[in-house]
Homo-oligomer: A and B are copies of this chain.
């Protein structure tokens, strides 16, 4: 169906839309024809919002979180506990943790994970600024909230070595069976970890 596009302008838009993750050529065609059918204002608002985001979005100078201003809404919130820093890979993780409503500390967004395979070393990430924050002396705890992949473990190890000289608590997220999951269907590594890291019963009530 896609081979027969009668307009190179439509074809160009379809090609661009198909570059989005999870959008195939057929969906891209549907989206392009949808946009073509809308009035000019709709399309201007659509492309304008994307352009504006790309051009004007800023990153917090303290924690590297996405922000509209120099300091993000978390770092500038005086009700948050700035002595606890949760280290995450990216802003998606910040949003995921914020959505739990269980965390009242601040963040530090690394912007990636150490991955020699992809040529990403510690100097490509916002690690020095984390060390500077810790070195300032006001931090009591650093929570390493990275994914439990090879890259996450490598980064955890590197951060641990960088930070272990300071008088702070270094913690990591609890790994275990998901809430609501059945033992029977849990993979053995996770089940084993949640046995090793078992907690006092009254913690879970």
Which A residues have a C-beta under 8 Å from some C-beta of B? 1-10, 12-13, 15-17, 19-23, 27, 29-36, 40, 42-47, 49-57, 65-68, 72-74, 91-92, 94-96, 98-99
Contact A8 B49 (CB under 8 A): no
Contact A6 B36 (CB under 8 A): no
In the assembled complex, the Cα of A40 lies from the Cα of B53 at a distance in Å of 11
A9 neighbours in B (Cβ, 8 Å): 49, 52-53, 56-57, 68
Contact B27 A22 (CB under 8 A): yes
Given A21-B31, A99-B1, check contact A10 B50 (CB 8 Å).
no
A42 neighbours in B (Cβ, 8 Å): 19
Contact A8 B54 (CB under 8 A): no
Q: Which of A22, A40, A55, A95 has the most CB of B within 10 A?
A: A95
- 10 smallest CB-CB distances across A and B, nearest first, come from A47-B47, A4-B98, A13-B53, A16-B49, A12-B49, A43-B54, A9-B53, A1-B99, A7-B66, A13-B49
Given A9-B56, A43-B51, A46-B50, check contact A91 B21 (CB 8 Å).
no
Which residue of B33, B45, B50, B65 is within 8 Å of A35 (Cβ)? B50
Contact B21 A30 (CB under 8 A): yes
Q: From residue A57, how far is it (CB to closest CB) to chain B in Å?
A: 5
Q: From residue A27, how far is it (CB to closest CB) to chain B in Å?
A: 7
Contact B72 A3 (CB under 8 A): no
Contact B98 A50 (CB under 8 A): no
A22 neighbours in B (Cβ, 8 Å): 27, 30
Beyond A7-B67, A16-B45, 15 additional pairs, beta carbon < 8 A: A1-B95, A2-B95, A4-B95, A7-B53, A10-B53, A10-B66, A12-B53, A29-B92, A32-B50, A33-B91, A35-B50, A35-B53, A36-B53, A36-B66, A44-B51
